[in-house]
Amino acid sequence: MMELSLNATTILIVFIYVTIAWLKTVSSGNVTVMDVLWGMGFVFIAWTRFLLSESYNIASVACLACVTIWGLRLGYVLHKRTKKRGEDPRYVRMRQTAGKNWWWISFLQVFILQGILLLVVALPIFYLMPLNSEPVEWSSTSIAFASLCLFGFIVGLLLEHKADMELKKFRAKHGPGHLKTDGMFSVTRHPNHLGEAILWWSIGGFAVVVGGWNAIPALIGPLILTLLLRYVSGVQMSEVDLQEREGFAEWVSTTPPLFANPIRALLQKNAD
């Protein structure tokens, strides 16, 4: 019997993961569960590779810890949010367009597609958790860059968490249908997406610090994620349902969609 490589096993695990998630939605047709399982997918990938690897080093352990913390937090937050909100309006529109064929179109267009994206974005994990991890030879330069990557990860995680807490308090006070434009949402329209981009660029950068030039392809993951967040599934799709809310046009004209100018943000905060 042919033994699967670590990469092939990882791909198989992700395929099984998204297929089981899809099967649970066939009866209801509601596929928002895949949003909840997005972050958890990276946790599955990280633990699969960690448990099946034949050796470990400090880089793989650090990667496992960071991905697990981020994925579990994101999964919990989205579960609590979608549990009360119901099906995401994006998927409602997709289901209406697909009609009676939604049950299998959703498998390809939502679950398989997100499974592929999971694997692409997770490329830094692949490089940080190979089958055989070589001992990392740390120099003062590599330690400095690794520390910078850890700092970036923490910043990205805190951005996501703070944005979620602000939004939770806002919705509890004002209810659904209102547009939040203050706090972090006055610096960038999508602080959650910004935090996620920073976080994954930091993990990708750490892969390059550990693996050198051979690990440069790992940066394809954060690059694809950033492009998706800015131009496809993040800013664009999120704002379709915000355009009719009061103050949207002014918010768009004064607040960048994703990448914020930190100097401008500090000046604005001091002015307030």
For residues 124-140, give the mean pLDDT.
89
Please say if the pLDDT value at position 1 is more than 60: no
- Percent of the chain exceeding pLDDT 90 equals 51
Q: Compute the mean pLDDT over every residue in the chain, rounded to the nearest whole number.
A: 87
pLDDT-derived band at 115 (thresholds 50, 70, 90) equals very high
Q: What is the pLDDT of residue 270?
A: 47
| Among the listed residues 148, 120, 118, the one whose alpha carbon sits nearest the alpha carbon of residue 220 | 120
Q: What is the pLDDT of residue 78?
A: 86
Total-model pTM: 0.89
For residues 163-169, give the mean pLDDT.
92
Query: How many residues would you count in the chain?
Result: 272
For residues 191-219, give the mean pLDDT.
95
**Helical H runs in the chain?**
6-23, 33-52, 58-85, 89-98, 102-106, 113-121, 123-128, 140-174, 191-211, 220-231, 235-240, 248-254, 262-271
For residues 182-193, give the mean pLDDT.
90
Say which residue, 233 or 181, is predicted with more confidence: 181
One-character DSSP codes across 127-138:
HHS-SSPPPP--
Compute, in degrees rounded to 10, the torsion defined by CA atoms 57, 141, 122, 136.
-20
One-character DSSP codes across 20-68:
HHHHTTTTT---THHHHHHHHHHHHHHHHHHHH-S---HHHHHHHHHHH
Two tokens, residue 61: 């352990």
Please say if the pLDDT value at position 271 is more than 60: no
Q: How far apart are CA 38 and CA 115, in angstroms?
A: 9
For residues 189-213, give the mean pLDDT.
95
| Among the listed residues 119, 158, 88, the one whose alpha carbon sits nearest the alpha carbon of residue 12 | 119
pLDDT-derived band at 64 (thresholds 50, 70, 90) equals very high
**Contact (Cβ atoms closer than 8 angstroms) between residue 59 and residue 66:** no
Task: Kindly report which listed range (64-73, 196-205, 245-254) carries the lowest average pLDDT score.
Answer: 245-254
Look at the block and give the residue holding tokens 């100018």: 261
**Contact (Cβ atoms closer than 8 angstroms) between residue 241 and residue 89:** yes
